[in-house]
Amino acid sequence: MRRRAFLAATGGGLIALIGAGMAAWNQVPVIPKRPEPDADAAFGWIVHRDGRFVLTLPRVEMGQGIATALKQVACTELGVAWQAIALQLHDTSSPPVKATVGSESVALFAEPLAQACSSLRDALEAGRLEGPVAVSTRPLSALRAFRAGGLIGASPELAQGRDIVTGAALYAADVVRPGLLHGRVLRAPASPEVGSRASTWNRSEAEKIPGFVAVVEDCGSANGQAKGLGIVASRPAALDQIAEALAIEWTVDSLPEQADIARAIDIDTALSKGKLGNRVMDGAPEGTSFDISMRVDIPFAAHAQIEPRAAVAEWKHGRLMIWSGTQDAFYVRDALADVFGLDPGAVTVQTMRIGGAFGGKVLCRAEMEAAALAQAVGAPVKVQWTRAQEFAFGYHRPPSSHRLRLKLSGGRITDWDHQQMSSHILFTSAGLPVWMQAATDLVVGDPGVARGMRIPYWVDRARAAYDTIRLPVHSGPWRGLGAGPNGLVVESAMDEAARTAGADPLAFRLDHIRDPRLAEVLRRVGETANWQGTAAAEHNGIRTGRGIACGIYKENSYAAVVADVAVETTGHIRVTRLWCTHDCGLVINPDQVRAQCEGNLVWSIGMLLSDALQIEAGRITAENFHENPIPRLTEVPPIIVELIASDMPPSGAGETAIVAGPGAIANAIRAATGVRPARFPLQAEVFAT
């Protein structure tokens, strides 16, 4: 959406907010442009030249395997061997492409690519070897790439896989330019939502460090309200030494605490003040007496990708070149052009492979810092964030506080009420000023927070509503947006309802499902896991239990999960086995889809047992994984993934299983211990005997 389009779309309700807000914010920030792909655009992705095909990948490869899947589509539609197509990553000199987000790569890009390849194949078979090819759209059923067989449904060698294991594949941190220097932007130990700035520093001591090049005060646009101080060195190891020698004294406007955030989103406090404003489901539960009333609280969580962000910037003759592991190269280009007063055509952003992102590498952060430092010193500069910077200055999954109330009659749910308080996800505080975020709250809410609140079950009366509040720590997109937290809450409530009804949790869910695809994944996972109830038992003090959950991701992909857990007398919890059945339509590459399911299930373990960013004295305290742990390999159990054979169009697999994994584990813990998990991450003492 363009800036003017945003103002038009938000309508008359925005006028008063603009009048007040523009005094502090004199312009609308750059808004990502996310064009939908079509067959005409896809002709820019596939080229035949000198007897070879080159596929310019229209998506960013960040470990999800899209390079392999789209190459399978191209090879199949063109009718050529695997080795006949070379891959290259896109940059912003090519036509704009949509950001790599939302598990959309196969769902949105496979058909346009297949259409382009089919027309290119026709032209080559007709003897045309030069010039552009006009699109001739075929029905989906006529495309070779949408029929199982050959490469479709197979798992060929991972595209660029050999490059990865031999070190030939380049990430942003691997880029080297002639005369390259190394930079870092230092910021106050405080949330970037809080105003902060360097007040004094000791430049003379910093200049004594071997490798010192410069201290830079103008570091481009601020990260939120946190103004930085840049340093540049000829060797990366000098950066820590220079930072220490500067002995910066910081001025910080306020120091929010964890308790402040908890009070701000407390759901019961919010409900005591009246109804929540954003409705997802509009049913009106009858009466004020409910059979189940449960509260669930979920904390901040980091993306915790293995690769900290990095960027290299180089200025030449008034033009700017950026190498970056970004999910949205065109947004980065536009943001840099805006800040440095350039025509967008004077900025080129070359995408690189990404070592994990999960929604966390969309905004322009390391790229902005590298560009500002490179401009200041007149040489190429690489900025590599530290792990501590990732935790401190990135945006995170917002905390959320939920109240669910259910009423049952005749063994079924008649009334459902889910109320939630959270902070922003799609309309992230890391990118939008206060007045603009308030405008989105007023007009459209935040669909990222709402994702997963619409239940996939049939009940007589269902209401779901939420409100968002801007918090003093930046929140934003995290794998699946609200689907993970909301799926955990919804499936916990369904499990508690089955227990209240005295019903088997699998049969109880089936009794409330009208979508045949959801019912099928649920039945199949029960068969695969040999479901015979919650299987609670105790042996030598070890309590075991089994849980089940299911869900729909973005209304078109389906997953169901069974989890087994063991709980020791100390309360220590181990997930001992996971089963997942997954339906994402036609599967292009089963190995990669299974890998995505496995990744979601590992995230599910972390979501319950370890994910939590702590805030003290205005700052996130974690500086590395020992203070913000993620599941280790020793904590990952055997995982069995079954894929449903389907002739439906591909619908996305990257985030689907997150709707069911956390709920299944939580329900298994409830079965083993008799205690409903309600505050996360789970603390061992709650489950100790």
Q: Average pLDDT in the 61-77 region?
A: 96
Rounded percentage of the chain residues whose pLDDT exceeds 90: 88
Structural domains present in the chain? 39-166 (3.30.365.10), 172-254+309-384 (3.30.365.10), 265-301+396-687 (3.30.365.10)
The answer to whether 684 and 627 are in contact (CB under 8 A) is no
- The closest alpha carbon to 88, from 63, 108, 70, belongs to 70
pLDDT bracket for residue 27 (50, 70, 90): low
Which H/E stretch holds residue 657?
A: none
Q: What is the pLDDT of residues 93-108, one digit of tens each?
A: 998 999 999 999 999 9
Task: List C-alpha distances in Å: 332 to 359, 370, 386, 583.
Answer: 14, 12, 20, 34
Given a cut of 90, is residue 26 above it in pLDDT?
A: no
pLDDT tens track for 283-295: 989 988 999 999 9
The string of pLDDT tens digits covering residues 123-182 is 999 999 888 888 889 999 999 999 999 999 999 999 999 998 998 888 999 999 999 999
Q: Of 278, 284, 614, nearest to 449 (Cα)?
A: 278
Angle value at C-alpha 367, between 363 and 369, nearest 5 degrees = 110
- Give the Cβ contact number of residue 197 at 10 Å: 17
| Alpha carbon distance 249, 242 (integer Å) | 14
Instruction: For residue 94, give the nearest of 28, 43, 151 by alpha carbon.
Output: 43
Between CA 256 and CA 253 the distance in angstroms is: 10
- Whether 389 shows a pLDDT value over 80: the answer reads yes
Q: Where are the alpha helices (DSSP H) in 126-182?
A: 161-166
Residue 610 token pair: 């370890």
Q: Strands, E, within 16-62: which ranges?
A: 46-49, 52-57
pTM score, whole prediction: 0.94
